[in-house]
Protein backbone atom coordinates (compact mmCIF):
# COMPACT_ATOMS: atom_id res chain seq x y z
CA UNK A 1 0.00 0.00 0.00
CA UNK A 2 3.01 2.30 0.31
CA UNK A 3 2.39 5.82 -0.92
CA UNK A 4 2.17 9.40 0.29
CA UNK A 5 -0.51 11.05 2.38
CA UNK A 6 -1.10 14.55 3.70
CA UNK A 7 -3.10 15.18 6.85
CA UNK A 8 -4.52 18.68 6.54
CA UNK A 9 -6.24 20.34 9.48
CA UNK A 10 -8.56 23.33 9.20
CA UNK A 11 -8.36 25.41 12.39
CA UNK A 12 -11.39 27.63 12.90
CA UNK A 13 -14.31 28.23 15.25
CA UNK A 14 -16.53 25.23 16.00
CA UNK A 15 -18.53 24.08 12.95
CA UNK A 16 -18.85 27.47 11.24
CA UNK A 17 -21.29 29.10 10.68
CA UNK A 18 -23.45 27.12 13.12
CA UNK A 19 -21.52 27.78 16.34
CA UNK A 20 -19.40 30.64 17.64
CA UNK A 21 -17.52 28.69 20.31
CA UNK A 22 -13.84 27.68 20.16
CA UNK A 23 -13.80 24.37 22.04
CA UNK A 24 -12.00 22.75 19.13
CA UNK A 25 -9.01 25.04 19.62
CA UNK A 26 -9.20 25.05 23.41
CA UNK A 27 -9.81 21.32 23.95
CA UNK A 28 -9.45 19.42 20.69
CA UNK A 29 -6.26 20.97 19.33
CA UNK A 30 -4.01 19.97 22.26
CA UNK A 31 -5.23 16.37 21.98
CA UNK A 32 -4.70 16.37 18.23
CA UNK A 33 -1.14 17.68 18.57
CA UNK A 34 -0.40 15.04 21.22
CA UNK A 35 -1.78 12.34 18.92
CA UNK A 36 0.40 13.49 16.02
CA UNK A 37 3.45 13.62 18.28
CA UNK A 38 2.66 10.10 19.50
CA UNK A 39 2.59 8.78 15.92
CA UNK A 40 5.36 10.97 14.51
CA UNK A 41 3.09 12.51 11.87
CA UNK A 42 3.67 16.02 10.51
CA UNK A 43 0.58 17.79 9.20
CA UNK A 44 -0.42 20.97 7.41
CA UNK A 45 -2.69 23.25 9.45
CA UNK A 46 -4.77 25.91 7.70
CA UNK A 47 -5.51 28.57 10.31
CA UNK A 48 -7.94 31.49 10.11
CA UNK A 49 -6.63 34.94 10.90
CA UNK A 50 -9.26 35.27 13.62
CA UNK A 51 -8.05 32.09 15.31
CA UNK A 52 -4.48 33.35 15.13
CA UNK A 53 -5.51 36.66 16.69
CA UNK A 54 -7.48 35.03 19.51
CA UNK A 55 -5.14 32.10 20.21
CA UNK A 56 -1.61 33.14 19.20
CA UNK A 57 0.02 30.72 21.65
CA UNK A 58 -1.89 27.79 20.20
CA UNK A 59 -0.85 28.71 16.65
CA UNK A 60 2.79 29.09 17.70
CA UNK A 61 2.51 25.62 19.23
CA UNK A 62 1.33 24.25 15.89
CA UNK A 63 4.17 25.96 14.03
CA UNK A 64 6.81 24.32 16.23
CA UNK A 65 6.33 20.97 14.45
CA UNK A 66 3.93 21.45 11.56
CA UNK A 67 3.31 23.57 8.49
CA UNK A 68 0.93 26.51 8.93
CA UNK A 69 -1.13 27.81 6.01
CA UNK A 70 -3.90 30.40 5.72
CA UNK A 71 -7.64 29.62 5.94
CA UNK A 72 -9.01 33.11 5.37
CA UNK A 73 -9.75 35.61 8.10
CA UNK A 74 -13.25 34.80 9.41
CA UNK A 75 -13.98 31.49 7.64
CA UNK A 76 -15.82 33.50 5.00
CA UNK A 77 -17.19 32.34 1.64
CA UNK A 78 -14.66 33.82 -0.76
CA UNK A 79 -16.74 32.96 -3.81
CA UNK A 80 -19.31 35.51 -2.55
CA UNK A 81 -16.88 38.38 -1.95
CA UNK A 82 -15.76 41.02 -4.48
CA UNK A 83 -12.15 40.83 -5.63
CA UNK A 84 -10.92 43.77 -3.57
CA UNK A 85 -12.43 42.43 -0.37
CA UNK A 86 -10.95 38.99 -0.98
CA UNK A 87 -7.49 40.51 -1.35
CA UNK A 88 -7.90 42.63 1.78
CA UNK A 89 -9.00 39.75 3.97
CA UNK A 90 -6.34 37.33 2.76
CA UNK A 91 -3.69 40.03 3.21
CA UNK A 92 -4.79 40.75 6.77
CA UNK A 93 -4.90 37.05 7.67
CA UNK A 94 -1.51 36.45 6.04
CA UNK A 95 0.11 39.26 8.01
CA UNK A 96 -1.40 38.07 11.29
CA UNK A 97 -0.15 34.53 10.72
CA UNK A 98 3.31 35.74 9.73
CA UNK A 99 3.48 38.02 12.76
CA UNK A 100 2.49 35.16 15.05
CA UNK A 101 4.63 32.33 13.67
CA UNK A 102 7.53 34.32 12.23
CA UNK A 103 7.04 32.71 8.83
CA UNK A 104 4.88 33.83 5.94
CA UNK A 105 2.38 31.12 4.93
CA UNK A 106 2.94 29.60 1.50
CA UNK A 107 -0.33 27.67 1.22
CA UNK A 108 -4.00 28.63 1.30
CA UNK A 109 -7.28 26.78 1.66
CA UNK A 110 -10.53 28.64 1.09
CA UNK A 111 -13.20 27.98 3.74
CA UNK A 112 -15.81 25.45 2.62
CA UNK A 113 -13.60 24.73 -0.42
CA UNK A 114 -15.28 27.71 -2.14
CA UNK A 115 -13.24 30.21 -4.12
CA UNK A 116 -13.18 32.17 -7.37
CA UNK A 117 -10.56 33.31 -9.90
CA UNK A 118 -10.24 36.49 -7.83
CA UNK A 119 -9.08 34.35 -4.91
CA UNK A 120 -6.19 33.02 -6.97
CA UNK A 121 -5.34 36.49 -8.23
CA UNK A 122 -5.08 37.66 -4.62
CA UNK A 123 -2.93 34.67 -3.68
CA UNK A 124 -0.59 35.37 -6.58
CA UNK A 125 -0.21 39.02 -5.60
CA UNK A 126 0.54 38.02 -2.01
CA UNK A 127 3.24 35.51 -2.96
CA UNK A 128 1.45 32.25 -2.23
CA UNK A 129 2.93 29.09 -3.72
CA UNK A 130 0.04 26.63 -3.56
CA UNK A 131 -3.68 26.34 -2.97
CA UNK A 132 -5.82 23.51 -1.55
CA UNK A 133 -9.31 24.89 -2.15
CA UNK A 134 -10.40 22.19 -4.59
CA UNK A 135 -11.43 18.62 -3.84
CA UNK A 136 -12.06 15.43 -5.74
CA UNK A 137 -15.71 15.76 -4.72
CA UNK A 138 -15.99 19.55 -5.25
CA UNK A 139 -14.75 21.17 -8.43
CA UNK A 140 -14.08 24.82 -9.17
CA UNK A 141 -11.86 27.19 -11.12
CA UNK A 142 -8.22 26.13 -11.39
CA UNK A 143 -5.33 28.20 -9.95
CA UNK A 144 -2.60 27.22 -12.42
CA UNK A 145 -3.20 30.19 -14.78
CA UNK A 146 -2.27 32.42 -11.83
CA UNK A 147 1.01 30.61 -11.13
CA UNK A 148 -0.42 28.73 -8.15
CA UNK A 149 0.00 24.96 -7.65
CA UNK A 150 -3.13 23.03 -6.65
CA UNK A 151 -3.05 20.22 -4.05
CA UNK A 152 -6.57 18.77 -4.08
CA UNK A 153 -8.30 17.32 -1.05
CA UNK A 154 -9.37 13.69 -1.46
CA UNK A 155 -12.04 13.03 1.18
CA UNK A 156 -14.12 15.20 3.55
CA UNK A 157 -13.23 15.06 7.22
CA UNK A 158 -16.29 13.02 8.20
CA UNK A 159 -14.78 10.04 6.33
CA UNK A 160 -12.00 9.88 8.93
CA UNK A 161 -14.67 9.29 11.59
CA UNK A 162 -16.13 6.24 9.88
CA UNK A 163 -15.67 2.80 11.48
CA UNK A 164 -12.44 1.03 10.51
CA UNK A 165 -14.35 -1.59 8.52
CA UNK A 166 -15.32 1.20 6.11
CA UNK A 167 -12.46 3.70 6.32
CA UNK A 168 -9.58 1.24 5.89
CA UNK A 169 -10.61 -0.27 2.53
CA UNK A 170 -11.69 3.16 1.34
CA UNK A 171 -8.27 4.65 2.08
CA UNK A 172 -6.44 1.63 0.66
CA UNK A 173 -8.36 1.96 -2.61
CA UNK A 174 -7.78 5.73 -2.67
CA UNK A 175 -4.02 5.31 -2.33
CA UNK A 176 -4.02 3.31 -5.55
CA UNK A 177 -5.57 6.27 -7.37
CA UNK A 178 -4.34 9.44 -5.66
CA UNK A 179 -0.78 10.60 -4.98
CA UNK A 180 -0.81 12.06 -2.48
CA UNK A 181 -3.91 11.01 -0.58
CA UNK A 182 -5.03 14.26 1.07
CA UNK A 183 -7.10 13.94 4.24
CA UNK A 184 -8.96 16.77 5.93
CA UNK A 185 -9.78 17.16 9.64
CA UNK A 186 -10.81 19.79 12.23
CA UNK A 187 -9.86 20.07 15.91
CA UNK A 188 -13.54 20.55 16.80
CA UNK A 189 -14.19 16.97 15.66
CA UNK A 190 -12.33 15.80 18.77
CA UNK A 191 -14.99 17.51 20.90
CA UNK A 192 -18.50 16.08 21.14
CA UNK A 193 -20.65 18.37 19.00
CA UNK A 194 -24.37 19.01 19.46
CA UNK A 195 -26.93 21.23 17.76
CA UNK A 196 -25.41 20.97 14.28
CA UNK A 197 -26.22 18.91 11.20
CA UNK A 198 -25.71 15.17 11.41
CA UNK A 199 -22.51 14.84 9.36
CA UNK A 200 -20.82 17.41 11.63
CA UNK A 201 -21.79 15.73 14.89
CA UNK A 202 -21.72 11.96 14.35
CA UNK A 203 -18.82 10.13 16.01
CA UNK A 204 -17.23 13.34 17.33
CA UNK A 205 -15.32 13.56 20.60
CA UNK A 206 -13.46 10.55 22.00
CA UNK A 207 -14.81 8.29 19.25
CA UNK A 208 -13.30 10.55 16.58
CA UNK A 209 -9.98 10.67 18.40
CA UNK A 210 -9.70 6.89 18.60
CA UNK A 211 -10.82 6.34 15.01
CA UNK A 212 -8.33 8.90 13.74
CA UNK A 213 -5.55 7.25 15.76
CA UNK A 214 -6.51 3.81 14.40
CA UNK A 215 -6.64 5.04 10.81
CA UNK A 216 -3.27 6.81 10.99
CA UNK A 217 -1.68 3.75 12.61
CA UNK A 218 -3.17 1.56 9.88
CA UNK A 219 -1.72 3.75 7.12
CA UNK A 220 1.68 4.07 8.80
CA UNK A 221 1.82 0.33 9.39
CA UNK A 222 1.45 -0.24 5.67
CA UNK A 223 4.28 2.02 4.67
CA UNK A 224 2.36 5.19 3.90
CA UNK A 225 4.60 8.24 4.30
CA UNK A 226 3.01 11.40 5.69
CA UNK A 227 4.30 14.65 4.22
CA UNK A 228 3.27 18.30 4.39
CA UNK A 229 1.64 20.06 1.48
CA UNK A 230 4.70 22.20 0.90
CA UNK A 231 6.79 19.03 0.65
CA UNK A 232 4.39 17.77 -2.03
CA UNK A 233 4.83 20.99 -3.99
CA UNK A 234 8.62 20.88 -3.66
CA UNK A 235 8.72 17.26 -4.81
CA UNK A 236 6.68 18.15 -7.90
CA UNK A 237 9.14 20.85 -8.93
Mean pLDDT calculated for residue range 23-38: 99
pLDDT tens across 108-163, in order?
A: 999 999 999 999 999 999 999 999 999 998 889 999 999 999 999 999 999 999 99
User: From CA 139, how far away is CA 188, in angstroms rounded?
Assistant: 25
User: From CA 105, how far away is CA 237, in angstroms rounded?
Assistant: 19
User: From CA 224, how far away is CA 171, in angstroms rounded?
Assistant: 11
- pLDDT averaged over every residue in the chain: 97
User: From CA 3, how far away is CA 224, in angstroms rounded?
Assistant: 5
pLDDT tens across 36-60, in order?
A: 999 999 999 999 999 999 999 999 9
Res. 68: pLDDT tops 90: yes
Res. 19: pLDDT tops 70: yes
**Under 8 Å CB-to-CB from 171, ≥6 apart: which residues?**
181, 215, 218, 219
The answer to whether residues 174 and 181 touch, using CB atoms and an 8 Å cutoff, is yes
Parent domain of 124: 4-236
CA distances from 207 to 130, 159, 167 (A): 33, 13, 14
- The overall pTM is greater than 0.85: yes
The answer to whether residues 67 and 44 touch, using CB atoms and an 8 Å cutoff, is yes
User: From CA 51, how far away is CA 193, in angstroms rounded?
Assistant: 19
The answer to whether residues 42 and 63 touch, using CB atoms and an 8 Å cutoff, is no
Res. 1: pLDDT tops 90: no
Counted domains in the chain = 1
User: From CA 1, how far away is CA 171, in angstroms rounded?
Assistant: 10
CATH number at residue 49: 3.20.20.370
Amino acid sequence: MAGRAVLSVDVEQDVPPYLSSWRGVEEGLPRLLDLLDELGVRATFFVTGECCRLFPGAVRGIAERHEVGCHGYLHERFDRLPAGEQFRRIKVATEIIEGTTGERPKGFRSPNFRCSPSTYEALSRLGYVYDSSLAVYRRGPRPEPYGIVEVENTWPSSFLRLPAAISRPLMAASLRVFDPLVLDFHPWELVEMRGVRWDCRFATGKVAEERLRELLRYLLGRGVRFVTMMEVVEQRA
